Amino acid sequence: MTKLSNTLAPAGLSAMVASAAASDLPVPALSTVRGPAEVVTAARTYAAFWNTGDPALAHAALSPDFMDRTLPEGRPQGVAGPIAASAAFRAAVPDLKAEIEDLIVADDRAVVRLHFTGHFSGHFQDLVGDGRAIDFHAIDVYRVAGGRIAENWHLEDNLTLLTQLGKIGK
């Protein structure tokens, strides 16, 4: 993953990325941008949240009235949902990393393909990790308003993830 200099970050968004300089946000190797820079920054900030698990980044990237339009059963709606999901996932994969592989921006929308890697060395439901590698992808579609993600539609490769965790296909 490459880094993008602060000079490409839009003016006025420094408060949104208060816990990370724009140069510290993940940048994809492949991107197509036909929209506001604030949409790119929101997507990069949210990817940084998944990469680090830092709730401050989730709060910076997500609107206070954020809606998960593909909310998994049992996950709270709003900003609390991704924060809870990240904490649970990091309990299973403490060294979790998330990189942006593709970022496509058009108007107020961003499509992001994230690549998650790490090692299952923690706990997931009834399983205890044995250090095996975890490697899967997710695709998100964001609608950004006021410089923050207002809505998210997402699809994770859960079949690959659950197989790698040993939850299915034993």
**DSSP code of 91?**
H
Give the lowest-confidence range in 30-34, 43-47, 75-79, 106-110: 30-34
Residues contacting 48, CB < 8 A, separation 6+: 20, 24, 25, 26, 54, 57, 61
CATH number at residue 35: 3.10.450.50
Domain count, the chain: 1
Domain interval for residue 72: 24-165
Residue-wise pLDDT tens digits, 103-157? 999 999 999 999 999 999 999 999 999 999 999 999 999 999 999 999 999 999 9
Give domain status of residue 70, yes or no. Answer: yes
Give domain status of residue 51, yes or no. Answer: yes
**Looking at residue 34, what is its pLDDT?**
74
CA distance 75 to 15: 28
